[in-house]
Amino acid sequence: MNTDKQSHGPLAGIKVIELAGIGPAPLCCTLLSDMGADVLRIDRNVPSGLGSPRTPRTDLLRRGRPSVSIDMKHPSGIATLLRLVAQADVVIDPFRPGVTERLGLGPEDCMARNPKLVYGRMTGWGQDGTLSQAAGHDLNYLALTGVLHAIGPKELPVPPLNVVADMGGGAMFLAVGVLAGVIEAQRSGQGQVVDTAMTEGSAFLGTGAFGSLAAGDWVHERTSNILDGGAHFYRCYKTSDGKFVSIASIEAKFYAILLEKLSLDPADLPAQMDRPTWPDMALKFEALFAGKSRDEWCAIMEGTDICFAPVLTFDEAFEHPHNRDRGSFVEVDGVRQPGPAPRFSRTPSAIKSPPPEMGADTAAGLAAWGLGADEIAALMEEKAVGWQG
């Protein structure tokens, strides 16, 4: 962790109000904070079901920014929040459509105080549409896009953790959207609402597959296409020690190296793209890879142009030489975790701090955003701010 670098990150000077939520909105704010933005997280001032009442240091989606507790149902709490909004470049709203409007914190309320504000809204289904008020999670949003149908063995679709819809289609698209909004607001002097739906972000991530469908090159059966495990040259194989390796030799020149390392003569094999032969070729490859351990295959294939990598556990990923060389994972407050990404040559990102306990920074956070000590003390006396759990 390097706080000196953090103060010069590429987003230094950008001020963000984060209304506390779960999943993609916090990851987006972690990314913005790592890049140097001044993110102030607004946690409810009583236990809310969004996590443990006093968040532990392992809640990594809360790292790098202070936590201020505010009662969003208290008039003085709302007034305080609107004062903060007046100074912000961005507000991140993680709630269902209409929730912030009912609280008096909707886009119109906030933009009346700050016309240049970019109001980023993060939902699964989007701000309108027939499902906009329905509950859901990553798996449901991904299911609606067609992408989930393509993932897993033939028998059933498999949840790809929550990294596709929540974190990819949600957090990353929200980050891009609000940053684009900030750039435009600097030119026009006007803010706007950024409606980020995990369904649409997830579908966009699958744009290449939709192109294959349009070209007539997609089979609606899992493990039947090049990128879904159907091709023998793009899948994982089990090794003799019960571990796995990944092979992604799509290009002919890479496939030729793969065959060479497997001691196979191309003249004795069907053409690489002869789709009906893929199942039999996969069986042949399975038998070959089962003959050596994962480490033995690494010694043979790693670092070549086969497009090869061992399938690592999280613990193993920390220790892989490539990840260690780049410092891809870092340790903060005794917790190993992914470091900031992407890399910047002149204004590097860095992690400001470990995750705070909820409301731990209420007084300091409000003071840093311009509230006086007497005002803060009065608000705490009213129980409009400060942790009450």
Catalytic positions: 137, 166
Q: To 10 degrees, the CA torsion angle through 116, 92, 61, 160?
A: -120
Helix (H) or strand (E) holding 145: helix 138-145
Q: How far is CA 74 from CA 17, 105, 366, in A?
A: 18, 12, 17
Q: Is 268 helix (H, G, I), strand (E, B) or coil?
A: helix
Neighbours of 214 (CB within 10 A): 9
Neighbours of 81 (CB within 10 A): 26
Phi, psi torsion values for 41, nearest 5 degrees: -85, 130
Rounded to whole angstroms, the Cα distance separating 75 from 112 reads: 17
Neighbours of 357 (CB within 10 A): 18
Which residue carries 């904070």 as its tokens?
33
